[in-house]
């Protein structure tokens, strides 16, 4: 699409962008509905929506294999509970996870395309993504090209996301593309709305709040704007796009906020791991302790 076509879609959007009003609406929504979701059935569903993540500078083939083995062990040791949705690692480790993963119905997600800055030539981003999918990645998390956004270069944004999505195909496999908006950098509801719209119209299967690496992580206000954009896009285009909260989501209470926003804005259809994810490391153990009532740390 040309820039002016995107400008029209953005101009036609009715999603609220007044930051003070967004904050007030979120506070009212959470005050009215969080308590009704505070139960173990919801905890189990949220656990099943976790992208269990390791993105350390010191990650190695050995440490990632051990990390993956803990997911295998969880299925063996706690078969009565749902497992996490995916294991999320740097793209170079996709093959390690594929060779180690035995747990059923757990996807392999990778951060690709010069994560977390997205500052690389498009050719580098597409090659990295293609190699990761060939190595076994089911899902690819990339960072929204904020540098183009700062220059108002919407067509370049659309082209880049679309090309990376095209590169996330290998044979009959088409990995899901999750676009990280880096909402802590975008900051305003207006910017988050525009980035959400551009990402979805360029083919994103999920939009995600944050990398959790450089800027502030997820906030309920950013999630609310993103979910309103997803709802509006679905009503216009008929395609369901998922939402992922990531960055600083560590406790059950944190996760409940995002579950509640998704439930109230998007509805029950989004309350499953196909359309709702939480990127986390420490959350998994904290949430599991609240599910079981025991101080156990499977991960």
Q: What's the rounded Cα separation, in Å, for the pair 254 and 282? A: 12
Q: How far apart are the first and last CA of the chain?
A: 44
Q: What's the rounded Cα separation, in Å, for the pair 198 and 155? A: 9
**284, burial (CB in 10 Å: exposed 0-12, middle 13-18, buried 19+):** buried
- Other C-beta atoms lying within 10 Å of the C-beta of residue 281: 19
Overall size of the chain counted in residues:
299
Q: Are 74 and 103 spatial neighbours (Cβ–Cβ below 8 Å)?
A: yes
21 catalytic residue (yes or no): no
State the catalytic residue, choosing from 165, 208, 257, 273: 208
Q: What's the rounded Cα separation, in Å, for the pair 250 and 243? A: 17
141 catalytic residue (yes or no): yes
18 catalytic residue (yes or no): no
State the catalytic residue, choosing from 125, 178, 193, 244: 244
Q: Are 125 and 114 spatial neighbours (Cβ–Cβ below 8 Å)?
A: yes
Beta strand ranges found along the chain (DSSP E):
50-53, 86-90, 107-111, 139-143, 169-170, 173-174, 176-180, 206-208, 242-246, 276-280
State the catalytic residue, choosing from 51, 135, 138, 141: 141
Catalytic residue positions? 141, 208, 244
């Amino acid at each position: 699409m040309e820039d002016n076509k995107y400008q029209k879609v953005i101009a036609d959007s009715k999603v609220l962008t007044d930051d003070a009003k967004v904050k007030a609406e979120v506070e009212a929504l959470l005050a009215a509905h969080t308590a009704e979701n505070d139960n173990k059935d919801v905890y189990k569903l949220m656990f099943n929506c976790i992208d269990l993540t390791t993105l350390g500078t010191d990650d190695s083939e050995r440490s990632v294999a051990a990390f993956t083995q803990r997911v295998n062990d969880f299925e063996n040791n706690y078969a009565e509970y749902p497992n996490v949705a995916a294991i999320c690692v740097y793209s170079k480790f996709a093959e390690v996870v594929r060779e180690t993963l035995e747990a059923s119905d757990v996807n392999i997600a990778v951060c690709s395309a010069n994560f977390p800055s997205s500052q690389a030539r498009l050719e580098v981003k597409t090659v990295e993504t293609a190699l990761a999918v060939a190595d076994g990645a089911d899902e690819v998390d990339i960072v929204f090209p904020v540098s183009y956004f700062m220059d108002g270069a919407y067509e370049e944004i659309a082209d880049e996301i679309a090309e990376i999505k095209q590169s996330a195909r290998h044979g009959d496999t088409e990995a899901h593309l999750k676009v990280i908006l880096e909402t802590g950098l975008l900051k305003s509801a207006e910017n988050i709305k525009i980035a959400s719209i551009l990402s979805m119209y360029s083919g994103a299967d999920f939009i995600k709040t944050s990398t959790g690496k450089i800027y502030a992580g997820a906030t309920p206000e950013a999630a609310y704007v993103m979910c309103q954009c997803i709802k509006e896009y679905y009503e216009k285009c008929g395609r369901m796009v998922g939402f992922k909260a990531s960055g600083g989501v560590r406790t059950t209470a944190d996760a409940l906020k995002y579950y509640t926003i998704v439930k109230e804005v998007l509805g029950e259809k989004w309350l499953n791991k196909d359309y709702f994810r939480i990127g986390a490391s420490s959350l998994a153990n904290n949430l599991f302790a609240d599910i079981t009532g025991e101080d156990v740390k499977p991960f």
